[in-house]
Structure 1
Amino acid sequence: MEQIPLPSPIHYELILQLLERQTMLAVGNNPDLRNQVNQLIITLRKAAVQQKHLEEICQFSSMAVDHRWSINHLNSGQVVSPD
C-alpha cells in the first residue's frame, strides 16, 4: 500500500499554541501586528483542516498516511542526513 508523507498534526498544534499564547502577548496592543498574527493563526487552522480533509480522501482511496515528525524521516526508521 502506498503511503503519503504528511506533517504530524502535532506540528500545527505546537505552532498555533506558540502564536496564541506567546506571540499574541508579545505584540501587545499594536493593532497591525495583532492583525498579522491573527491572519497567520487563521491560515494555519485552515491548513490543518485541509490536511485532515486530504487524510480522509486518502483513507477513502485506500492510501495510507505516514505522519512525519521531521523531513529526515524514512519508513524504515532510518534518518537521512542532509547533503
Structure 2
Amino acid sequence: MEPIPLPSPIHYELLLQMLERRTQYALDEHPAQREQVQQLIITLRKAQSQQRQLETHCQLDNLPVEHRWSLNEVSQPKFPSSWNAPSRGEDPGV
C-alpha cells in the first residue's frame, strides 16, 4: 500500500510562528484584523491536532503515512520486489 501523504508538521509550525511572531504585532493598532489572526491561529492549531489524531488512527490501523514537503516531490522509481534497486554510485548495468 502506498503511504498516505500528509503535510509535514513543519508547515504548521512555520505558519504559526509567522502569525504569532510577526502578523499579530503588525496589527497592534487594528484590533478587528488582529482578532481575525487570532482565529486563524486557533484554526491552524485545530488542524494540526486533527492531523496528529489522523496519524495516530492510521498507525493503529497499520496504514503508512508519509510527511510531504511539497506537491512537487519527485517520486523514486518503483522496482518489483524481486529486483534489488542499485545503490547510489553503483552501476546498474554491471
Q: Quick check: 1:49 aligned with 2:49? A: yes
- RMSD of Structure 2 on Structure 1 (CA): 1.4
Q: Which amino acid aligns with 1:13?
A: E
Q: What TM-score, normalized by structure 1, do the two folds share?
A: 0.86
Q: Which amino acid aligns with 2:2?
A: E
Q: What TM-score, normalized by structure 2, do the two folds share?
A: 0.77
- Bigger Cα displacement from structure 2, 50-59 vs 1-10: 1-10
Structure 1 residue runs of 4+, over 2 Å off? none
User: Structure 1: any 5+ residue segments left out of the alignment?
Assistant: 78-83
Give the number of aligned pairs.
Answer: 77
User: Structure 2: any 5+ residue segments left out of the alignment?
Assistant: 78-94
Provide the residue aligned with 2:7 in structure 1: 7
Structure 1 CA distance for aligned equivalents of residues 75 and 63 of structure 2: 15
Residue 57 of structure 1 and its aligned partner are, at CA, apart by 0.6
Q: Which amino acid aligns with 1:38?
A: Q
Q: Describe the SS at the equivalent of 1:2.
A: coil
